[in-house]
Chains A and B, each alone.
Chain A
Amino acid sequence: MVWSGLAVVAAGLFLLRVWAAWPDAPGGDELDRVILLYSVLPRPVVAILAGAALGLSGLLLQRVLRNALAEPSTLGISAGAQLAMAIATLFAPGLMVFSPALVAFAGGALAVGLCLLLTWRRGLEPVSVVLAGMMVALTATSASAALILANGDYLFSLFIWGGGSLNQQSWQPVLSIAPVLAIGFIASILLLRPLTILGLDDRTARSLGLAVDAGRLGMLALAVWLATTIVAQVGVIGFVGLAAPALAGLSGARTLARKLVAAPAIGAILLWTTDGFVQLFSGGGGERIPTGAATALLGGPLLLWLLPRLRMMEWPTIGQAASLARRTARPWVLVLAVAVAVLVVAGLALVLGKGPDGWIVANGALLADLANWRWPRILVAAAAGGMMAGAGVLVQRLTGNPLASPEVLGVGSGAGAGLAALFAFNAAVGLPWQFVAASVGALASLLLILAVSARAKFGPERLLLGGIAVGAACGAVITAVIALGTAQSYALLGWLTGSTSQTEPSHAVVVLIAAAILLLPALLMVRWLDILQLGAPVAAGLGVPLGRARGAVVILAALMTAIASLFVGPLSFVGLIAPHMARLMGLSRTRHQLAGAVALGAGLLVLSDWLARTLIFPYQLPVGLFASLIGGPYLVYLLSRGVPSRA
């Protein structure tokens, strides 16, 4: 009922456009006729086709991965496709001439492949898959941001794919999307039986005679093809793929066959309606908000509303034995050794750098001058890295998920959304105001996550899902502001990539004090963390106030993330990796792991900052992006060796 109502609204909006564009005089102006025929008419058709394709893609992904949160944007497919197109545009324009769709498909397939690789050992468990997807998406978005920063003034096509735009001037996109959608739909119907079976667990599927892996791979490819076709034709459109199948289930489509019809239909109606309103509000001067950004803005709240109503599909728990990492005899000596190593790296970073003629060990007056810029960077990197790592240990211990990290807690993105809101009012505000805006954004997103997860007493799963939802919603706000392509976009892009090049001494002092204030209580909380790990009943039995303990840990982790991400951007992987490195070194007890991880995190980010400063001197790489580019492969290696399912 609701859906037919919405469809009527969309159709009404569309008729309004047609009426406005109708050539006035009989036999009227040739151009008016062309505009009606090639701009006004194709637009809703593209919206309907794209919405349907995304709905179908989301349904397939959710089915194949048995994951209610899977969709092109949460799995990094859209961001991967966008990055691939940006890279191709800059470095292999011939490829873009040959086939943008192929480039987009390669990027999307690579992204989803990476997600699966990261979570294979964990049996593609849903929350982990989405966590990996968010990381891949964040990295790809940030890499795209760096490319835009270096080239965007003169090649603004890089901006366009970020926020899917449905402007049309020909039927070509319709003709490109329609066959893919048709093939996808027919294939899905033919594959109805295997798809149904894939909804069951692997052993049942195998015993029913299905080549599980081949079937899964084939359907994944189909879903990626559908999604990347849309990216190539109109850009990134978020959330439709997530919302359509979920809403189809909620509005009564129980069997897969009915969902196969309902999900694309609902996706089509959603996008058509959204686009109708975007056009209504865009006015004469052209559209100010791309439709893709608008769906993302609507999608975030929708996801939060959906969360409590979603039943995660049943997934067999993997009985993977937690491999006991070897434990060192003298953990504090090891922590001290790491700390000394960090100091050495910091010292090197202070004196060693590049000059016009290559490497230079600075001393004397030159060092005195250079040190003025170097020590704030080093301190900020160290403090931010330490806080990220500390937050990582807290979140991983709390949720028992080794893929959890402060980056996916959504707080970093919340800080970014706060900045975006501030820049929307005034692009040229000073750092104190940026600090306030980012903190407010971080705090608001934190409260939202807490509100979502409080009902489950901050239960691990709900917390992660809430974080993902808030992160995705805030990411959408950021994307929307960036897609505007104005001065504000550049300020935000700079933050997104995580640059320390403008660090001033006062920042260093502020962030250092914050680190000291926040890390100390974390060290005092280790007993809680140790006990919380044993599970809720045990913890309650030992007299730990479950809700309050979890709440305190979450707030602490969020504050650390918010402050660190303000200075080094929303991602770095340090919060994810440092805890693992500490554990692999044999620091298995919480207090040792925490201390070791903080030292390692500080060292990692100082090292990254130094490399980012020197590698392509005089140009500088953003440290957050650079850290994640070296952290990402290490993470893949780490996980391919098998990480126990309990951190």
Chain B
Amino acid sequence: MFGRRAFLAGSMAAVTFSGSDVLPAVAAQKRVAVIDWAHLETCLALGITPVAGSELRQYRKIVRVPEMPDTVADLGLRGSPNLEMLRFVEPDITVISQFYEYQTATLATVAPVLSLPSYEAGTPPYGLLENSAVALGEALAIRPAAERLVSEVADDIEAARERVIPFSGQPVHVISLGDSRHFRAFGADSLMGDVLTRLGFENAWRDDTSYSAAAPVGLEALAEQRDAGIVVIEPLPADVGRSLPDNALWNALPAVRDGRVSILPPVNHFGGLPSARRFAGLLAAAVAGWPR
């Protein structure tokens, strides 16, 4: 008795009927549950509000754009999505990436599962994300919207690239700070790394980093590329603001001395096209202020 109907009545103010009773325009829309964060972003950017997504508390803190409506049901941590909640929201389709494929059999007992690749070790992810966005659009019967999104994001990244043409070829480290002594770098197979090179910069971190960021490395590794600028992605640990200015090595880095350092607000490490667009904009705006 507490099926979809109760859930809809309780938490989806806009849609007050269930199943076949809904308005024709909405009826065409599938009820989508999204577990992978890249696809979750993309889904929202395509104008579809999913019925459920994973780890929404963290999403609202880190991803920010596109905004997550309050009506979306939270499925809990990405690593262990709550199957009971998934059953309650009764999706028509559950979208995952290959990270979650080991759960496909279980997830499929609730609704058909669509697995689209988002990140693969050693592969720059942007192309994968474009393909997956189109595939997602196809599955949701809005392929034109998906193709529009792909070209819009490509245009925005191109526009960002034009803003930083004077810095073309400039090596840049994109890092997140663990404390005032350690960082993780975003390599070529991370979203940040891929967008960085698409904007015409050179990624100063040469190693692959297994989709996101790898083991903590001492800050002295930043010194190996003398002329590289540094882009730090938040969140910063609380004590860094206090202790980083005391770090003699940090202060001696040419990038720090010359003002080629920027701190950007949080960007989803495992983001989709919307995060790529956001990062490109933030990066271009920040670098444009660097001395030539």
A residues within 8 Å of B by Cβ?
30-31, 34-35, 37-39, 89, 93-94, 96-97, 100, 149-151, 153-157, 159-160, 165, 167-172, 284-288, 290, 353-357, 360, 362-364, 366, 369-370, 372-373, 428, 430, 483-487, 490, 494, 499, 501-502, 504, 613, 617-620
Contacts and interface: CB of A to CB of B under 8 A. Distances in A.
B77 A620 contact: yes
Contacts of B77: 149-150, 619-620
Contact of B82 (A171, A286, A619): A619
B176 A156 contact: yes
B3 A366 contact: yes
Given A97-B239, A169-B250, A156 B184 contact: yes
Nearest to A94: B238
A197 B83 CA distance: 61
Interface stretch (B139-147, B155-163, B215-223): B215-223
B interface: dominant SS: mixed
A93 B235 CA distance: 12
A300 to B, nearest CB: 22
Contacts of A483: 215-216
Contacts of A286: 215-218, 221
A487 B210 contact: yes
A170 B217 contact: no
Interface in B74-93: 74-77, 79-80, 82-85, 87-89
B249 interface: yes
Given A356-B88, A618-B82, A620-B77, A93 B215 contact: no
Interface stretch (B5-13, B126-134, B164-172): B5-13
A151 B74 CA distance: 16
B178 A156 contact: yes
The range of chain B's interface size is 35 or more
A619 B223 contact: no
Nearest to A361: B2
Contacts of A159: 178, 216
B29 interface: no
Contacts of A618: 73-76, 82, 84-85
A501 B7 contact: no
7 contacts: A34-B249, A97-B241, A167-B220, A363-B1, A364-B1, A485-B215, A502-B80
B181 A165 contact: yes
B151 interface: no
A378 to B, nearest CB: 13
A601 B265 CA distance: 48
Contacts of A369: 87, 109-110
A484 B269 contact: no
A372 B105 CA distance: 13
Given A94-B238, A155-B235, A39 B220 contact: yes
A96 B249 contact: no
Contacts of B179: 157, 160
A256 to B, nearest CB: 36
Contacts of B223: 31, 35
Interface string B102-117: 1100100110000000
